[in-house]
Amino acid sequence: MPDFIYNGKIYYNPVQLVMEQIGGTWKAPILWRLKDQTMRYGELRKDIPHISDKMLTTQLRELEDDGYISRKVYAVVPPKTEYSLTTQGKEIIELITTIRNYGLKMIEKQESSKK
């Protein structure tokens, strides 16, 4: 598989592309929470341990730009914004689920091997 370009960026292989879409510390946790519900910014913020405003905002923006989530802003005060998965987001959730299950199995094995 030769190098290729996606959205103007060079990638060396398909795995690298996927990793850039859902990799990093925060994207999977965000998508996971939107799996079957719409959530407000503040709800995500409270529900994802350790995340900061900066990280939550930037990752939400990237996920939106990449087409995985949609953002609905209500013109009210104080502000209200709702995030939810797009069709594309629902598709990639399946992959995340697979990866997640693999991770869970790893943890299990580790648990069982330390008596």
The residues of the shown chain that bind DNA, judged by CB under 7 A, are 20, 24-26, 40-42, 45, 50-55, 57, 60-61, 71, 73, 77-81
Instruction: Report the alpha-carbon distance of residue 89 to residue 69 in Å, rounded.
Output: 6
Query: What residue 6 binds from a copy of itself, DNA, none (CB within 5 to 8 A, per partner kind)?
Result: a copy of itself
Looking at beta carbons only, is 74 or 102 nearer to a copy of itself?
102
Looking at residue 49, its amino acid is P
Query: What residue 92 binds from a copy of itself, DNA, none (CB within 5 to 8 A, per partner kind)?
Result: a copy of itself
Both tokens of 3, joined, read 């190098």
Both tokens of 60, joined, read 């939400």
Q: Where are the alpha helices (H) located in the chain, listed in sequence order? A: 14-22, 27-33, 41-47, 53-65, 87-113
Query: What residue 37 binds from a copy of itself, DNA, none (CB within 5 to 8 A, per partner kind)?
Result: none
